């Protein structure tokens, strides 16, 4: 089915050329597309191995490391946990991240058997029902785009407000399947117009290699870990920044297509172990050697590039230990 869909998409994209061509020309163009997308053997090259799968249920919260995950159009899912499906907001509905409240990175949110659990340093564990249909649905704003979330209740609000201690009230919301997700292209035009996301900054899946993190650490006075960069998929067995060249990859039965590099911001300067923000490293070092080509300044502006953003071409199941293959035609 995957190759059929690719061929049909290519045929549609080239329909103008087909209509302008006549007779033998039409046949030739059609056969050329058929050969390129269907008959021509796919080139497959092993490029690495999945070493970690990370779900961040709470935006800016701690990652949950899993051995396997469903790779859905809107990101990774394991049981009741879905990537970036819980969000901290202000009383007027604006989203809150570690950029404003760096200690959010120390908050752990898990959910199983219909119970969601919040944990944080020097805080009591809080449990509340995953589904609270009688609670209000709140209109939230993520990067000035509207999206809904089910309020998780006053206890969760009180817990976050006391934990963050910022002198203002915070609330927790949960995105439910019947709600309308955001369009990725509204925030980043390079994404296809039909791609949907919930509460992530940009896209549904971010991939990063261990070697790239090691390369960065070698340039720092104090090394960093993968946790600093909040990827969905971590890959081992490749060279630093090899992932920059993986346009299309297959992992198990999942296929991913690269859309763009991940431009890095001030959140990379939050230590995931302490919740302290320095606003300096490793961002300054990344800016010294990971800036975009001048022709791409309109896309990335002053953000250094670290990791790659993907959309899901074919959904399925990912597992730690899966081989990562780079695929191509032609």
Q: What is the mean pLDDT of the chain?
A: 92
Answer whether residue 29 shows pLDDT above 80.
Answer: no
Q: What is the pLDDT of residue 21?
A: 46
Residues 37-95 have pLDDT tens digits of 556 789 999 999 999 999 999 999 999 999 999 999 999 999 999 999 999 999 999 99
Answer whether residue 235 shows pLDDT above 70.
Answer: yes
How many residues make up the chain in this entry? 330
Helix (H) or strand (E) holding 46: strand 43-55
Answer whether residue 158 shows pLDDT above 80.
Answer: yes
C-alpha 316/C-alpha 172 separation (Å) is: 30
Cα–Cα distances (Å) from 211 to 23, 124, 226, in that order, read: 53, 38, 10
Per-residue tokens: 319: 């597992």
Q: What is the pLDDT of residue 25?
A: 53
Maximal C-alpha separation, the chain: 76
Answer whether residue 20 shows pLDDT above 50.
Answer: no
Q: What is the pLDDT of residue 32?
A: 59
The pLDDT confidence band at residue 166, using thresholds 50, 70 and 90, is confident
For residue 92, the Cα-to-chain-centroid distance in whole angstroms is 26
Question: What domains, with CATH codes, occur in the chain?
Answer: 44-328 (2.40.33.20)
Answer whether residue 135 shows pLDDT above 50.
Answer: yes
Number of H helices, E strands in the chain: 8, 22
Q: Are strands 254-263 and 248-251 parallel, antiparallel or unpaired?
A: antiparallel
Whether the predicted model's global pTM rises above the 0.85 cut: yes
Answer whether residue 31 shows pLDDT above 70.
Answer: no
């Amino acid at each position: 089915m995957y190759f059929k869909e690719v061929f049909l998409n290519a045929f549609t994209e080239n329909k103008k050329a087909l209509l302008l061509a006549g007779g033998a020309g039409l046949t030739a163009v059609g056969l050329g597309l058929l050969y390129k997308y269907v008959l021509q053997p796919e080139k497959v090259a092993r490029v690495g191995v999945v070493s970690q799968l990370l779900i961040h249920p709470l935006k800016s919260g701690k990652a949950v490391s899993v051995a396997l995950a469903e790779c859905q159009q809107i990101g990774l899912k394991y049981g009741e946990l879905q990537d970036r499906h819980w969000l901290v907001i202000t009383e007027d509905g604006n989203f809150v991240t570690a950029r404003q409240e760096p200690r959010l990175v120390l908050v752990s949110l898990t959910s199983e058997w219909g119970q969601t659990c919040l944990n944080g340093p020097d805080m009591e564990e809080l449990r509340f029902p995953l589904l609270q249909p009688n609670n209000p649905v709140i209109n939230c704003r993520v990067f000035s785009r509207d999206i809904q979330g089910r309020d998780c209740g006053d206890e969760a609000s009180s817990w976050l407000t006391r934990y963050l201690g910022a002198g203002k009230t915070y609330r927790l919301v949960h995105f439910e399947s019947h709600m309308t997700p955001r369009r990725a292209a509204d925030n980043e035009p390079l994404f296809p117009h039909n791609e949907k996301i919930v509460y992530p900054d940009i896209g549904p899946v971010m991939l990063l290699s261990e070697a790239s993190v090691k390369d960065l650490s070698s340039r720092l006075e104090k090394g960093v870990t993968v946790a600093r960069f909040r990827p969905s998929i971590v890959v081992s067995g490749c060279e630093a920044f090899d992932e920059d060249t993986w346009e299309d990859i297959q992992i198990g039965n999942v296929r991913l297509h690269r859309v763009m590099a991940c431009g890095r911001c001030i959140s990379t300067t939050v230590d995931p172990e302490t919740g302290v923000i320095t606003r300096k490293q490793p961002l300054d070092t990344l800016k010294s050697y990971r800036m975009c080509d001048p022709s791409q300044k309109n896309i990335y502006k002053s953000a250094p590039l670290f990791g790659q953003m993907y959309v899901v071409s074919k959904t399925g199941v990912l597992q730690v230990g899966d081989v990562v293959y780079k695929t191509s035609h032609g």
